[in-house]
Chain A
Amino acid sequence: MGPKILTVDDSKTIRMIVARAFRPFACEILEAADGVEGLAVVKREKPDIIILDFTMPIMDGVEMLTKLKSDAEARTIPVVMLTAESGRENVLRIAKLGVRDYLIKPFKEDLIVERVGRIIDLKARTEVQAKAKRYDDPLHVLVVDDKPAILDQITSGFTDTKWTVHGLAQAGQAVDYCSQRLPDVILVSLSLPENSGYMLFQMFRASVKTKGLPILAMAVKTATEEHARAQQFGFTGIITKPIDVEDLKHKITRALNLDTSYRYFERRDGLLVMSLPANFSPAVANDVSTHLRAKVCEAVDSGINRLVINMGQLRSADVNLIKLGLGAIQLCQELDMKFILIGSDVVCSECKNYEETKDWQFVATFEEAIGVLNAKTPTLV
């Protein structure tokens, strides 16, 4: 859920404004209407930060803060004072009480988020939720590049996905855009004039709203100095120009931790089926390996103890396929799981040529695989 933020204010209006300000972030908002209630919430919920009003009935902010500071458990909780009174003496008095920061009413919501974000780690809800997103979910990609051809290339490369691309030519436009709407991922050209690509990156990283967004740098393949500089800056990744769209999709998938397992794993007829696609590549092998253990363990946990490894669509058997196959077989053996391989004629014959795979037994179809697994099952009992 993220950090707990306690707002203590006798005005419900202010508490609602504070709650609204933090709505885009993965955090829990706790409320109290006075100091007494506030102390009770602190004891019960142990918030990560307190936004405290100065003037309140029953127990005001000063008294609550004094009590907090004398409590061994609660004294370290950072407090941001929120007050309508900004006179010099008042500000000095607040500072002496040991608050981490103070804000004067009226205040902009962005300001309170920025100040709190300097003290606790705030993550955008979209960033947290992205972990659960799938590759085939709609994604919003912001491209900041002054070369229209690049934008066209990326847009046309994503036509087989539900990803939408929004292109902007200037860094300033990107800042304005992100203040209104947060994309899932940002691609920034490093060839924007006056180093504005780097400056944009720094601005996004300095803002609480955008600091967790994946930002990929785009640079010419041979511009190795730019690549090194981008890495030093901390870009999430580097996309080389000319753009290889498949590589770009793969990097976005990794940057957003998108779930791609559904492309390779499915449950059918009481079995777990791992199907390798015709366009099998090192990237695909890596992708499947990432999900393999979790998916197999998940299946075993839910009572499925048979795995079909379907290589029927593959045109050849290479070292990546062999490594993946060996990993899957070893996992099945560890878990006492029965498995069977489906292979095309080419894959079957090529596997005979390798020491590690010469003993692999293949069937040709899924129905055949079920037949074999069903026949084997009684012998397991």
Chain B
Amino acid sequence: MIQEFDELIKSAVCEVFQTMLNMNMETKPFDTAIAANGESHVAGAVGFIGRLTGVVYIHASEPFARRITTTLLGLSPEEVQGQEMVNDAMGEMANMIVGHMKSRLADRGMPCVLTIPSVVRGTNFSIEAVSSTKGSLHMFSCREQYLFVEFLMKPTKAEA
């Protein structure tokens, strides 16, 4: 099941970034040193609830999150004032990625509903799930900028 999700995550991230930002995201082996380099990060999260329940976080460094925002909105860096626009853009990117995954899951007979996006910011935070939760970590890059995707899922009744 997790492997299936991994493929879904990869295709969703690549498609959303290509369509909305014209960015070719390449999958990379997850590297903790790059992910936890002390830089300020912005994480957009969207949960899904149904036959499958879980959450997907997309993280990017503050500069990359700003670049995503400026590209998405067609603005110059000076026009992106404060954090609100970046938060909204990262939330919407997460929403599109998880929406893409949700549609594929629904087609496979696993309907679910999505939560409203939320955003977390910080320089040194980690996401810790309860021990029974399954998950995976993914890293993508585009021109030396990195995107991290963390996927967490509650085991299904059958798995539990």
Interface residues, chain A, CB within 8 Å of chain B?
A: 10-14, 16-17, 20, 55, 57, 83-90, 104-108
* Contacts A85-B106, A87-B111; A17 near B99 (Cβ below 8 A): no
Q: Is the CB of B88 within 8 A of A106?
A: no
- Is there an interface contact between A105 and B99, defined as CB atoms closer than 8 Å? yes
Q: Using known A-B contacts A13-B85, A13-B89, A57-B116, determine if residue A84 contacts B99 with beta carbons closer than 8 Å.
A: yes
Q: Does any Cβ of A come within 8 Å of B20's Cβ?
A: yes
CB distance from B84 to the nearest CB of A (A): 8
C-alpha gap A83/B92 in the complex (Å): 12
Minimum Cβ distance to chain B for residue A91 (Å):
9
Q: B25-51: contact bitstring with A at CB < 8 Å (1 yes, 0 no)? A: 000000000000000000000000000
Supposing A86-B100, A105-B99, A106-B15 touch, asked if A11 and B92 sit within 8 A by C-beta, the answer is: yes
Whole-angstrom distance from the CB of B129 to the nearest CB of chain A?
24
- Shortest beta-carbon contacts, A-B, top 7: A84-B99, A87-B106, A106-B19, A86-B103, A87-B103, A13-B92, A11-B92
Contacts of A107 in B (CB 8 A): 19-20
- 69-92 of chain B: CB within 8 A of chain A: 69, 72-74, 84-85, 88-89, 91-92
What residues of A have a CB within 8 angstroms of the CB of B99 in the complex? 83-86, 105
Say if the beta carbon of B16 comes within 8 Å of chain A.
Answer: yes
Q: By the criterion CB–CB under 8 Å, are A84 and B91 in contact? A: no
Chain B contacts of A16 at CB under 8 A? 73
Q: How far is the CA of A90 from the CA of B113 in the complex (A)?
A: 11
Q: Is there a chain A Cβ closer than 8 Å to B114's Cβ? A: yes
Query: Contacts A11-B91, A13-B72, A89-B111; is A84 near B116 (CB within 8 Å)?
Result: no
Q: Are B16 and A106 in contact, CB atoms less than 8 angstroms apart?
A: yes
* A13 and B73 in contact, given A84-B100, A86-B103 (Cβ under 8 angstroms): yes
The chain B residue sitting closest to A91, CB to CB, is: B103
Docked-complex contact A12 and B85, CB < 8 angstroms: yes
Contacts of A106 in B (CB 8 A): 15-16, 19-20, 96, 100
Find out whether the CB atom of A17 lies under 8 angstroms from the CB atom of B72: yes
* Distance in Å: Cβ of A323 to nearest Cβ of chain B: 54
Interface size class of B (residues with CB under 8 A): 20 to 34
In the complex, what residue of chain A is closest to B95 when comparing beta carbons?
A84
A10–B116 CB distance below 8 A: yes
A11 vs B16: C-alpha distance when bound (angstroms): 16
B144 interface residue (CB < 8 Å to A): no
A84 and B96 contact, CB distance less than 8 A: yes
Q: A83-B99, A84-B99, A84-B114 are in contact. Are A14 and B106 (CB under 8 A)?
A: no
Q: Which residue from B74, B92, B111 sits with its C-beta under 8 Å from A14?
A: B92
Query: With A and B bound together, what is the CA distance between A12 and B86 in angstroms?
Result: 11
Q: Give A109's nearest chain B residue, CB to CB.
A: B74
Asked if B100 and A13 make an inter-chain contact with CB atoms under 8 angstroms apart, the answer reads: no
Q: With an 8 A cutoff between CB atoms, is B7 at the interface?
A: no
Asked if B66 lies at the interface with its beta carbon under 8 angstroms from chain A, I say no
Which A-chain residue is minimally distant from B15 (CB atoms)?
A106
> A20 and B74 in contact (CB under 8 A), knowing A13-B85, A55-B116, A83-B99?
yes
In contact, A105 and B96 (Cβ under 8 angstroms): yes
Query: How distant is the Cα of A89 from the Cα of B108 in the complex, in angstroms?
Result: 11
CB of B59 within 8 A of chain A? no
Which residue from chain A places its CB closest to the CB of B102 in the assembled complex?
A: A85
Cβ-based interface call for B107 (8 A): yes
Known: A84-B98, A106-B100, A107-B19. 10 other contacts (CB 8 A): A11-B88, A12-B88, A83-B99, A84-B100, A85-B103, A85-B114, A87-B111, A104-B103, A106-B16, A107-B20
* 24 A-B pairs (CB sep. < 8 Å): A11-B92, A11-B95, A13-B69, A13-B88, A13-B91, A13-B92, A14-B92, A17-B73, A20-B74, A84-B95, A84-B96, A84-B98, A84-B99, A85-B99, A85-B106, A85-B114, A86-B99, A86-B100, A87-B102, A104-B103, A105-B99, A106-B16, A106-B19, A107-B20
For residue A90, which residues in chain B have a CB less than 8 angstroms away from its CB?
103, 106
Q: Which chain B residue has the least Cβ–Cβ distance from A15?
A: B88
Contacts of B96 in A (CB 8 A): 84, 105-106
Q: Determine the distance from Cα of A112 to Cα of B20 in the docked complex, in whole angstroms.
A: 12
From B12, which residue of chain A is reached at the shortest CB distance? Answer: A106
B100, A20: Cβ atoms under 8 Å?
A: no
Complex alpha-carbon distance, A108 and B88, angstroms: 19
Residues of B within 8 A of A13 (CB): 69, 72-73, 85, 88-89, 91-92
For B100, list chain A residues within 8 Å (CB): 84, 86, 106
Residues of A near B116 (CB, < 8 A) are 10, 55, 57
Q: Are A20 and B19 in contact (CB under 8 A)?
A: no
